[in-house]
Amino acid sequence: MPVLETLPAKASPADLTAAYREGAFLFTSPTGVLLAEGAREVLDSPDKVPDAVAEGGIAVGVIPFDPTAPSRLVVPETVHRAGPLPSASQARPPLAARWLAQHTDADAYRAGVRRALELFADGALRKVVLARRLDLVAAEPIDVRELVQVLAARDPRWHTFAADLGDRTLLGTSPELLIERKGRHVLSNPLAGSRPRSADPVHDGRNATELLGSPKDRREHDVVVTAVADALAPFCRELTVPTEPELLPSRTMWHLSTRVHGVLADPDTPVWQLTAALHPTPAVCGTPTAVARQVIGELEPFDREYYTGVVGWADSRGDGEWVVTIRCGEVRGATLRLFAGAGLVPGSDPEDELTETGAKLRTFLDALGVEESA
């Protein structure tokens, strides 16, 4: 396991992100920065978290897209916390790496979208999220620490994460909060419906306005918000669900966003129980869930594993914070595998959906100073 640098007694958020080493766990959010090192225990299921953290501990890590598959959760030896990173993005040069090759599955993705559109005809499937991959190969092993630093500096308002998977590192910057629990108060921030950002202010504003007024995207968003509200309702004595979405900007995308607030009926309901009730949402899977998951298994030529899973932490009080593992990639030696997906509904266009996935890949590609090959 990595050895952390000696940290000051009151380490700043910048201290913690700088102290991250490959093999540790880093999680930044609007509520603060968490850096965990070492492993007292490694858990393969969130069901084992309550016993593992019963004596005032904490568990960190990743739950896969398929909740029945093994998780990668760790009870760390050392945990450091600090406040949130400054909200303004920092100017930082792209990752210093010499890239040798790209491998894309764009053609297979177009074919998958066309097939999914055919499956909508019988009415059993209402929405499905299809994903694709982009592999980048460097001349030398990728510096995970440097890449994490670049990602955190570019989008400090979101959730930057790095989690050890044993043979590789999962890292990214997710804008989508699945669930946060603080005492009796819970918050979920589902996102669905998006448009790319533009450096041209006029074009950028047009994209935002088009997204907010798009019937297709509004329907897609409503499906996700309804699913989140329905999942949380049995646990909450109060639940606030705005009737209209907001526009949420990241560096690369405009999103339709709804913040769902709740007050737990039972103060002992832990965050991992809420996570299990919510995951996976239609934002990363589709609806109906079982049908969409079957279609994903048939049409995606790879196992998602931890992509579109959830990453975060849970403590002995039942508090915690879990975000959806989107805008993410996996580093294994000199290879970086990136993932991006788009929600399909009747009327979707294969070229538009491919363009959307390309825009989502820009979270990483801009941090690398790389353009996707056609």
Contact 137, 99 (CB under 8 A): yes
Which of residues 330 and 95 earns the better pLDDT score? 330
Give me the pLDDT at residue 89, please: 67
pLDDT tens, 87-128? 766 767 788 888 999 999 999 999 999 999 999 988 889 899
Task: Provide CB contacts within 8 A for 135, sequence distance 6+.
Answer: 102, 103, 104, 335, 336, 337, 338
Q: What percent of the chain has pLDDT over 90?
A: 74
User: Per the structure block, which two tokens stand in for 265?
Assistant: 């009926």
- Residue 254 pLDDT grade (very low, low, confident, very high; cuts 50, 70, 90): very high
Confidence tier at 302 by pLDDT (50, 70, 90): very high
Per-residue pLDDT reduced to its tens digit, 149-189? 999 988 888 899 999 999 999 999 999 999 999 999 999 99
Domain covering 13-88+98-368 assigned CATH 3.40.50.200 in the classification: no
Residue 176 annotated to the active site: yes
Instruction: Please give the model's pTM, rounded to 2 decimal places.
Output: 0.93
Cα–Cα distance list, 101 to 19, 370, 373 (Å): 31, 11, 10
What pLDDT is recorded for position 155? 83
How does the average pLDDT of the chain come out, rounded?
91
Catalytic residue among 5, 10, 48, 176: 176
Query: Catalytic one among 5, 77, 118, 127?
Result: 127
pLDDT per residue as tens digits for the range 3-32: 444 555 577 888 899 999 999 999 999 989
**Rounded-to-integer distance, Cα 293 and Cα 99, Å:** 34
For the chain, the structural domain boundaries read: 13-88+98-368
Q: In the β-sheet with 177-182, what is the strand arrangement from edge to edge?
A: 41-43, 72-75, 58-63, 310-315, 320-324, 177-182, 185-189, 260-264, 236-240
Nearest-5° angle of CA 2, CA 25, CA 73?
110
pLDDT reported for residue 216: 85
Q: Is 37 left (phi over 0), alpha (psi -120 to 50) or beta?
A: beta
pLDDT above 70: percentage of residues in the chain = 97
> Is 356 part of the annotated catalytic residue set?
no
Q: What is the pLDDT of residues 198-253, one digit of tens each?
A: 889 999 999 999 999 998 889 889 989 999 999 999 999 999 999 999 999 888 88
- What is the per-residue pLDDT for 168? 96
